[in-house]
Amino acid sequence: MKILFIPHVPNVRVVNRVYEFAKHSDNYVLHWRMQNHSLGAKIYSQCASLCVWSGAEGKTLRMPMLFRPQAAATRWNTYMLNRLLKRYRIDAVVNANALLFDVAAIKVPVVYDLVDDHLDTNASVGLDASRVEKIKRDIAASRGVVCVTSALERKAAALHARTCTVENGVPLERFATAVSKKRELGWEHKKVFGYIGGVAPWTGLEKACEAYMRIRSDATAMAVVGGDESAYFKRLKKRFGDAILFVGPVPPEKVADWFKTLDVGLIPFELNDFTHHAMPIKALEYGLAGAQVLATPLRALEAKMLPFVHTVPIEAFAEAMDRIKPETVTFDFASYSWQHRTQQLLDFVWECLDG
């Protein structure tokens, strides 16, 4: 069986669950260019995406994509997708994208991968009523729904009779060879805090930086790995750049070295339905690299009761950062491998198609 995986967003600079599923099942993944950090970047990525001819680079498929206006984009992208599915004889689609396709019009069976809570309106992440209703229609038209957390599955179960939970995994093989950058940076005797991942206002990174500034000393350091050309990220660098190392984006094969550098990994996310029902991959990656984790009290993360995760309100981050001591993480991550997660997903897809 040939499966095409469609990501929520086409980001290859960080670990992306959809790409991991495609890689570990030796299946196809759809990729496109999309940049939103400025008007110029949006125009450029739209023009570049429309100029792509349908084709493949190994198991990565590309096709002309349209992003706006929304109604026309959905029709165009679904039409092009059906052509692509026929050309490569794809048997099923696992779709994690909330906007760009009409699931009911896709000509092969679709399993919906619900990677975040997109089931309620949330202005901070662009979830208005029309977008939420579209997602619910797409879920209803799917053969089944894969959810990233059990808490999210409980919500999805009200919309579809066939659901399951397949949590995020960790790339065990990449971390096995990771090397700390402490010596290179002159941080060998420092307690190192860090944030690794995408940067946006809802991540709460600015408040985490403020917390670090309150406990900063000669015995501490902090790094931020990731970011883009957005005004928010530029403002953070301007405000904290003299005290915090802003590394910017790094190649995926180098990210594990930065995880290995940290003593305490930070997840300062704002608290709302969107974040409460997420299971941040970085929580597992921090721990796999040997770091303690300090996070805001995200319900799905707290429910996992991971021994290396500490949760406090963002207002108490400074005190917790000062209190948490670097410790050896002893935890069996074998069941969190992407190979294991991928097999869980494939079993569910077969179940959906047989049903």
pLDDT by residue (tens digit) across 145-167? Answer: 999 988 899 999 999 999 999 99
Say whether both 76 and 164 belong to one domain: yes
Tell me the backbone φ, ψ of residue 289, rounded to 5 degrees: -80, -5
Q: Order of strands across the sheet with 245-248?
A: 245-248, 220-225, 191-196, 264-267, 292-295, 309-311
- Residue 82, Cβ density class (10 Å: 0-12 exposed, 13-18 middle, ≥19 buried): middle
Say whether both 303 and 232 belong to one domain: yes
The C-alpha atoms of residue 174 and residue 178 are separated, in whole angstroms, by: 7
The β-bridge partners of 122 are 127
Instruction: Please give the pLDDT value at position 203.
Output: 94
- Residue 54, Cβ density class (10 Å: 0-12 exposed, 13-18 middle, ≥19 buried): middle
The per-residue pLDDT for range 33-59, each reduced to its tens digit, is 776 656 677 777 777 777 777 777 889
The C-alpha atoms of residue 114 and residue 105 are separated, in whole angstroms, by: 19
Say whether both 324 and 347 belong to one domain: no
CATH number of the domain residue 322 falls in: 3.40.50.2000
Q: How confident is the model at residue 310 (pLDDT cuts 50, 70, 90)?
A: very high
The C-alpha atoms of residue 329 and residue 176 are separated, in whole angstroms, by: 14
Say whether both 256 and 135 belong to one domain: no
Say whether both 233 and 328 belong to one domain: yes
Give yes or no for a contact between 33 and 67, defined as CB atoms under 8 angstroms apart.
Answer: no
Q: Is the pLDDT of residue 172 over 70?
A: yes
The C-alpha atoms of residue 199 and residue 151 are separated, in whole angstroms, by: 25
84: Cα separation from own chain's centroid: 26
Domain residues for 258? Answer: 172-333
Instruction: Please give the pLDDT value at position 355.
Output: 66
Say whether both 156 and 258 belong to one domain: no
Whether the CA torsion 13, 18, 21, 27 is positive or negative: it is negative
Instruction: Please give the pLDDT value at position 111.
Output: 98
Which two structure tokens, joined as six digits, stand for 137?
């229609």
Q: Is the pLDDT of residue 335 over 90?
A: no
Total residue count of the chain as it appears in this document: 355
Residue with tokens 């990233």: 148
Q: What percent of the chain has pLDDT over 90?
A: 68
How many C-beta atoms surround the C-beta of residue 261 within 10 A?
Answer: 25
Which two structure tokens, joined as six digits, stand for 5?
């995986």
Say whether both 140 and 182 belong to one domain: no
Q: Is the pLDDT of residue 181 over 80?
A: yes
Say whether both 297 and 208 belong to one domain: yes
Give yes or no for a contact between 308 and 331, defined as CB atoms under 8 angstroms apart.
Answer: yes
The count of structural domains within the chain is: 2
Contacts of 143 (CB under 8 A, 6+ apart): 109, 110, 111, 162, 352, 353, 355
- Residue 210, Cβ density class (10 Å: 0-12 exposed, 13-18 middle, ≥19 buried): middle
Read off the pLDDT of each residue in 173-185 and give the average, rounded to a whole number.
94
The per-residue pLDDT for range 58-92, each reduced to its tens digit, is 899 999 999 888 889 999 999 999 999 999 999 99
Give yes or no for a contact between 192 and 264, defined as CB atoms under 8 angstroms apart.
Answer: yes
Say whether both 195 and 301 belong to one domain: yes
Instruction: Please give the pLDDT value at position 346.
Output: 97
The per-residue pLDDT for range 200-214, each reduced to its tens digit, is 899 999 999 999 999
Say whether both 183 and 134 belong to one domain: no
Q: What is the mean pLDDT of the chain?
A: 91
Say whether both 159 and 246 belong to one domain: no
Say whether both 122 and 30 belong to one domain: yes
Instruction: Please give the pLDDT value at position 39.
Output: 66
Q: How confident is the model at residue 13 (pLDDT cuts 50, 70, 90)?
A: low
